[in-house]
Structure 1
Amino acid sequence: MNGVIGPKRFYKEASVASHAMGFAVTLDGRIPKTPAKNHLILPNANAARLVASEWAMQGDSIDPASMPVTRLINVALDHGATSRDAMVDQVVKHAGTDLVCYRAPTPDSLIQAQAAAWDPLLDWAKQHFEVELVTTTSALAIHQSPLALERVARAARALDDLRLTALAFANGLAGSAIVALALVHGQLSGEDAFKAIRIEEDWQAQRWGKDPDEEKVAQARRLDLIAVEALVKALGA
């Protein structure tokens, strides 16, 4: 509950029902609405069950922080169709300064850890989307080719509203369009995506110990990435 008391739970049972537009989440037989008053209807039963499970797991009060998939669906239903260009632009922006392209110059152990985690992702992006990003050990910004960035944009635009929303969310969490694309396309699990963006932090923690406050923020990010994985799996191929 994160110490925050949300609205009182107003339903007994969360379930799923077939609907003309797909599959609806139901609370005591009624379809809840998003903040913009859209009905909570998903394209398939698995995705609807995933959302319903978050509602079912609530206690006496509803904690939105414990419902990451529902939050993602709300954004997608309310803004996905009208915000596609903005979401694609954000993904491309992160690709231009992608985390996996900025490498430590020293020490060898960190260099090797980054290469082991990130080189396969860059290879995958090149093979899967023809996206070829350059890397650097300099602190100065590098300029990725317009062609590479356009291919990132093309990969993002190819996704439907739900998956594009998930991509944009993961992109912001990861600071990496490449990690986000790999997660949404099933190349990385949510857990592995989290590990991929934490290479330097984990390397530092092994030597100097963990910061409890930073660790709390990191774990929230981890759960959100796992939620993205769960959603794209539920949506299916």
Structure 2
Amino acid sequence: MSDWKPKRFWKDSTVVQVDDGFTVELDGRGVKTPAKAQLVVPTRAMAEAIAQEWDAQEKEVDPTTMPHTRSANAAIDKVRHQHAEVADMLAAYGDSDLLCYRAEHPESLVARQSEQWDPALDWAAETLGVRLVPVSGVVHRPQPDEALDRLRRRVHDLSEFRLAAFHDLVSLSGSLVLGFAAAHGWREPDEIWRISRLDELWQEEQWGTDEEAQAQAEVKRQAFLHAKRFYDISE
């Protein structure tokens, strides 16, 4: 595999307002996505975050240090053209939501799941108008059709940029409810992330920690926190 990386060729990164939003120019030349579309984003805050990432590049461009740019590229090149498919995929999490599948034992884990996950389900019932039903065990049990339809409509209503962020909020947490909870600011995103990892944290308490697993979890945590920030600056 080639180690080639594009070199920095510009001096200044500038945010420019255009007819349908904001773009970033490098020495007067507009930034394009990997699919060669013009990178136009909906808010100045997002464009400024992207411009800062380009400004921070030194001799070579490192996409791994440019999360806002990568998320915007995903929204434009992928979600824009597959909005319905992405929305359906995420809405499907509601029928097998992490929060609804509870341990049968030990009692300490059962109690902790109830303590931390029930409030999220209560929030969804109050704020989203959807009551999902928790069950014991791992055997799939369908959720009420009306609840799933309401959640599906909410997902489909998201803009392409918010849907790109929402994809990570849901897929990283494993929960459609926690994805909405993070998007709506139910609690601090770090706390919602910890709630999503309840089972893993409990296992660590019982058996100890694994450095590699912790490192992977931290990468995912940072991606989750970024997704929340990107969601917030999308509108």
Structures share fold, TM-score greater than 0.5: yes
**Match runs of 1:84-163 below 5 Å:** 84-163=83-162
Give the whole-Å Cα distance in 1 for the aligned partners of 2:167 and 2:216. Answer: 19
**Match runs of 1:8-19 below 5 Å:** 8-19=7-18
Structure 1 segments unaligned to the other structure (5+ residues)? none
Q: Give the 3 Å change call, closer, same or farther, for CA 6–226 of structure 1 in structure 2.
A: farther
Q: Give the 3 Å change call, closer, same or farther, for CA 134–67 of structure 1 in structure 2.
A: same
Match of 1:21 in 2: 20
Alpha-carbon distance, 1:99 to partner: 0.7
Whether the 8 Å CA contact 2:173–2:197 is kept in 1: the answer is no
Give TM-score scaled by structure 2 length. Answer: 0.90
Runs of at least 4 residues off by over 6 Å: none
Deviations 1:62-98 (A, max 9, x none): 2222222222211111222321211121112211111
Match of 2:199 in 1: 200
Match of 1:30 in 2: 29
Q: CA RMSD in A?
A: 2.0
Amino acid at match of 2:113: Q
Alpha-carbon distance, 1:161 to partner: 1.3
Report which stretch shifted further, 191-200 or 9-18. Answer: 9-18
Give the whole-Å Cα distance in 1 for the aligned partners of 2:67 and 2:30. Answer: 19
Give the whole-Å Cα distance in 1 for the aligned partners of 2:58 and 2:105. Answer: 48
Give the whole-Å Cα distance in 2 for the aligned partners of 1:21 and 1:209. Answer: 52
Amino acid at match of 1:28: D
Give the whole-Å Cα distance in 1 for the aligned partners of 2:187 and 2:64. Answer: 24
Give TM-score scaled by structure 1 length. Answer: 0.89
Whether the 8 Å CA contact 2:33–2:77 is kept in 1: the answer is yes
Match of 2:48 in 1: 49
Alpha-carbon distance, 1:176 to partner: 1.0
Alpha-carbon distance, 1:6 to partner: 4.1
Structure 2 segments unaligned to the other structure (5+ residues)? none
Report which stretch shifted further, 133-142 or 25-34. Answer: 25-34
Match of 1:186 in 2: 185
